[in-house]
Structure 1
Protein backbone atom coordinates (compact mmCIF):
# COMPACT_ATOMS: atom_id res chain seq x y z
CA UNK A 1 0.00 0.00 0.00
CA UNK A 2 1.39 3.38 -1.01
CA UNK A 3 0.70 6.28 1.28
CA UNK A 4 0.11 9.60 -0.43
CA UNK A 5 0.33 12.95 1.27
CA UNK A 6 -2.32 15.51 0.68
CA UNK A 7 -1.30 19.13 0.69
CA UNK A 8 -3.10 22.02 2.28
CA UNK A 9 -2.81 25.59 1.06
CA UNK A 10 -4.25 28.06 3.53
CA UNK A 11 -5.64 31.54 2.82
CA UNK A 12 -2.19 33.01 3.37
CA UNK A 13 -0.88 30.65 0.63
CA UNK A 14 1.18 28.63 3.16
CA UNK A 15 1.61 25.07 1.90
CA UNK A 16 1.70 22.19 4.36
CA UNK A 17 1.49 18.39 4.31
CA UNK A 18 -1.70 17.19 5.99
CA UNK A 19 -0.36 13.85 7.20
CA UNK A 20 1.44 14.49 10.52
CA UNK A 21 3.67 11.41 10.22
CA UNK A 22 4.89 12.39 6.76
CA UNK A 23 5.16 16.05 7.75
CA UNK A 24 7.57 15.09 10.55
CA UNK A 25 10.15 13.65 8.14
CA UNK A 26 13.30 15.62 7.28
CA UNK A 27 12.51 15.57 3.55
CA UNK A 28 9.06 16.99 4.33
CA UNK A 29 10.71 19.82 6.27
CA UNK A 30 12.90 20.57 3.23
CA UNK A 31 9.80 20.47 1.01
CA UNK A 32 8.03 22.85 3.39
CA UNK A 33 10.94 25.30 3.28
CA UNK A 34 11.13 25.21 -0.51
CA UNK A 35 7.35 25.67 -0.91
CA UNK A 36 6.97 28.43 1.66
CA UNK A 37 10.24 30.34 1.50
CA UNK A 38 11.79 29.78 -1.92
CA UNK A 39 9.29 29.32 -4.74
CA UNK A 40 7.63 32.52 -5.94
CA UNK A 41 3.96 32.98 -5.11
CA UNK A 42 3.00 36.29 -6.70
CA UNK A 43 2.27 36.83 -10.38
CA UNK A 44 5.05 39.43 -10.55
CA UNK A 45 7.65 37.06 -9.07
CA UNK A 46 6.51 34.20 -11.29
CA UNK A 47 6.70 36.40 -14.40
CA UNK A 48 10.24 37.40 -13.41
CA UNK A 49 11.16 33.73 -13.04
CA UNK A 50 9.67 32.91 -16.46
CA UNK A 51 11.59 35.77 -18.03
CA UNK A 52 14.89 34.67 -16.48
CA UNK A 53 14.29 31.05 -17.51
CA UNK A 54 13.44 31.96 -21.10
CA UNK A 55 16.83 33.59 -21.56
CA UNK A 56 18.87 31.11 -19.48
CA UNK A 57 21.72 29.93 -21.75
CA UNK A 58 22.29 26.43 -20.34
CA UNK A 59 20.53 23.49 -18.73
CA UNK A 60 19.09 24.23 -15.29
CA UNK A 61 20.56 22.68 -12.18
CA UNK A 62 18.43 19.86 -10.76
CA UNK A 63 17.30 22.00 -7.79
CA UNK A 64 16.24 24.89 -10.05
CA UNK A 65 14.34 22.54 -12.34
CA UNK A 66 12.53 20.95 -9.37
CA UNK A 67 11.67 24.35 -7.88
CA UNK A 68 10.30 25.51 -11.20
CA UNK A 69 8.10 22.40 -11.39
CA UNK A 70 6.80 23.16 -7.88
CA UNK A 71 6.12 26.73 -8.99
CA UNK A 72 4.15 25.33 -11.94
CA UNK A 73 2.07 23.18 -9.58
CA UNK A 74 1.36 26.20 -7.39
CA UNK A 75 0.49 28.28 -10.46
CA UNK A 76 -1.91 25.58 -11.72
CA UNK A 77 -3.56 25.51 -8.29
CA UNK A 78 -4.00 29.29 -8.31
CA UNK A 79 -5.42 29.16 -11.85
CA UNK A 80 -7.94 26.52 -10.77
CA UNK A 81 -8.98 28.64 -7.77
CA UNK A 82 -9.32 31.89 -9.74
CA UNK A 83 -11.97 33.30 -12.04
CA UNK A 84 -12.10 35.66 -15.00
CA UNK A 85 -9.05 37.80 -15.72
CA UNK A 86 -7.15 36.39 -12.72
CA UNK A 87 -7.64 32.84 -14.03
CA UNK A 88 -6.28 33.92 -17.42
CA UNK A 89 -3.28 35.59 -15.79
CA UNK A 90 -2.41 32.51 -13.71
CA UNK A 91 -2.96 30.21 -16.70
CA UNK A 92 -0.69 32.36 -18.88
CA UNK A 93 2.01 32.21 -16.19
CA UNK A 94 1.66 28.42 -16.08
CA UNK A 95 2.09 28.18 -19.86
CA UNK A 96 5.16 30.43 -19.76
CA UNK A 97 6.78 28.25 -17.10
CA UNK A 98 5.91 25.15 -19.13
CA UNK A 99 7.56 26.65 -22.24
CA UNK A 100 10.68 27.55 -20.27
CA UNK A 101 10.98 24.03 -18.86
CA UNK A 102 10.32 22.47 -22.25
CA UNK A 103 13.07 24.65 -23.69
CA UNK A 104 15.38 23.54 -20.86
CA UNK A 105 14.64 19.88 -21.58
CA UNK A 106 15.28 20.36 -25.30
CA UNK A 107 18.53 22.33 -24.89
CA UNK A 108 20.86 19.30 -25.07
CA UNK A 109 19.22 18.23 -28.34
CA UNK A 110 19.26 21.70 -29.86
CA UNK A 111 23.01 22.10 -29.27
CA UNK A 112 24.05 18.87 -31.01
CA UNK A 113 26.06 19.41 -34.20
CA UNK A 114 24.20 18.77 -37.45
Structure 2
Protein backbone atom coordinates (compact mmCIF):
# COMPACT_ATOMS: atom_id res chain seq x y z
CA UNK A 1 0.00 0.00 0.00
CA UNK A 2 1.39 3.32 -1.09
CA UNK A 3 1.41 6.24 1.27
CA UNK A 4 1.16 9.75 0.02
CA UNK A 5 2.52 12.65 1.89
CA UNK A 6 0.78 15.93 1.21
CA UNK A 7 2.15 19.12 2.43
CA UNK A 8 -0.28 21.79 3.46
CA UNK A 9 0.49 25.43 3.80
CA UNK A 10 -1.49 28.08 5.50
CA UNK A 11 -3.09 30.78 3.40
CA UNK A 12 -2.13 34.25 4.33
CA UNK A 13 -4.77 36.48 5.71
CA UNK A 14 -4.58 39.40 3.36
CA UNK A 15 -7.54 41.75 3.62
CA UNK A 16 -6.56 43.61 0.45
CA UNK A 17 -6.96 40.50 -1.75
CA UNK A 18 -10.45 39.64 -0.54
CA UNK A 19 -13.19 40.85 -2.86
CA UNK A 20 -15.39 43.50 -1.38
CA UNK A 21 -19.14 43.33 -1.08
CA UNK A 22 -19.67 45.78 -3.95
CA UNK A 23 -17.98 43.32 -6.34
CA UNK A 24 -20.31 40.58 -5.10
CA UNK A 25 -23.27 42.91 -5.46
CA UNK A 26 -22.23 43.70 -9.02
CA UNK A 27 -21.94 40.00 -9.87
CA UNK A 28 -25.34 39.31 -8.33
CA UNK A 29 -26.89 42.22 -10.25
CA UNK A 30 -25.43 40.91 -13.53
CA UNK A 31 -26.74 37.43 -12.80
CA UNK A 32 -30.18 38.80 -11.97
CA UNK A 33 -30.18 40.80 -15.23
CA UNK A 34 -29.22 37.66 -17.16
CA UNK A 35 -32.07 35.79 -15.48
CA UNK A 36 -34.53 38.60 -16.33
CA UNK A 37 -33.37 38.56 -19.96
CA UNK A 38 -33.76 34.80 -20.09
CA UNK A 39 -37.25 35.07 -18.58
CA UNK A 40 -38.24 37.59 -21.26
CA UNK A 41 -36.88 35.32 -23.98
CA UNK A 42 -38.74 32.35 -22.50
CA UNK A 43 -41.97 34.35 -22.43
CA UNK A 44 -41.52 35.15 -26.13
CA UNK A 45 -40.86 31.50 -26.89
CA UNK A 46 -43.91 30.50 -24.85
CA UNK A 47 -46.14 32.92 -26.75
CA UNK A 48 -44.76 31.65 -30.06
CA UNK A 49 -45.40 28.04 -29.04
CA UNK A 50 -48.94 28.96 -27.99
CA UNK A 51 -49.56 30.67 -31.34
CA UNK A 52 -48.21 27.62 -33.18
CA UNK A 53 -50.48 25.38 -31.10
CA UNK A 54 -53.56 27.39 -32.09
CA UNK A 55 -52.49 27.45 -35.73
CA UNK A 56 -51.89 23.70 -35.80
CA UNK A 57 -55.30 23.10 -34.21
CA UNK A 58 -56.96 25.25 -36.87
CA UNK A 59 -55.03 23.45 -39.63
CA UNK A 60 -56.07 20.09 -38.19
CA UNK A 61 -59.72 21.14 -38.09
CA UNK A 62 -59.52 22.37 -41.69
CA UNK A 63 -57.91 19.12 -42.81
CA UNK A 64 -60.65 17.10 -41.11
CA UNK A 65 -63.35 19.18 -42.83
CA UNK A 66 -61.66 18.77 -46.20
CA UNK A 67 -61.29 15.02 -45.65
CA UNK A 68 -65.07 14.81 -45.11
CA UNK A 69 -65.67 16.88 -48.25
CA UNK A 70 -63.33 14.63 -50.25
CA UNK A 71 -65.15 11.53 -48.98
CA UNK A 72 -68.47 13.07 -50.04
CA UNK A 73 -67.02 13.94 -53.44
CA UNK A 74 -65.69 10.40 -53.81
CA UNK A 75 -69.12 8.97 -53.01
CA UNK A 76 -70.76 11.29 -55.53
CA UNK A 77 -68.18 10.31 -58.15
CA UNK A 78 -68.95 6.62 -57.52
CA UNK A 79 -72.67 7.32 -57.99
CA UNK A 80 -72.07 9.29 -61.19
CA UNK A 81 -69.73 6.58 -62.49
CA UNK A 82 -72.36 3.91 -61.86
CA UNK A 83 -75.06 5.96 -63.62
CA UNK A 84 -72.72 6.71 -66.53
CA UNK A 85 -71.91 3.01 -66.92
CA UNK A 86 -75.64 2.21 -67.02
CA UNK A 87 -76.23 4.87 -69.68
CA UNK A 88 -73.27 3.61 -71.73
CA UNK A 89 -74.63 0.05 -71.58
CA UNK A 90 -78.03 1.29 -72.78
CA UNK A 91 -76.40 3.23 -75.62
CA UNK A 92 -74.38 0.17 -76.60
CA UNK A 93 -77.55 -1.92 -76.55
CA UNK A 94 -79.35 0.59 -78.78
CA UNK A 95 -76.54 0.84 -81.30
CA UNK A 96 -75.97 -2.92 -81.57
CA UNK A 97 -79.34 -4.50 -82.21
CA UNK A 98 -79.61 -8.27 -82.42
CA UNK A 99 -80.61 -8.20 -86.09
CA UNK A 100 -77.55 -6.19 -87.04
CA UNK A 101 -79.51 -3.02 -87.71
CA UNK A 102 -78.85 0.23 -85.98
CA UNK A 103 -81.85 2.32 -85.17
CA UNK A 104 -81.21 5.84 -84.09
CA UNK A 105 -83.74 8.59 -84.21
CA UNK A 106 -82.91 12.20 -84.49
CA UNK A 107 -85.36 14.82 -83.42
TM-score with structure 2 length normalisation?
Answer: 0.25
Higher gyration radius (CA): 2
The structure that is strand-richer by fraction is 1
Relative contact order, higher structure (CA 8 A, sep 6+):
1
TM-score with structure 1 length normalisation?
Answer: 0.23
The structure that is helix-richer by fraction is 2
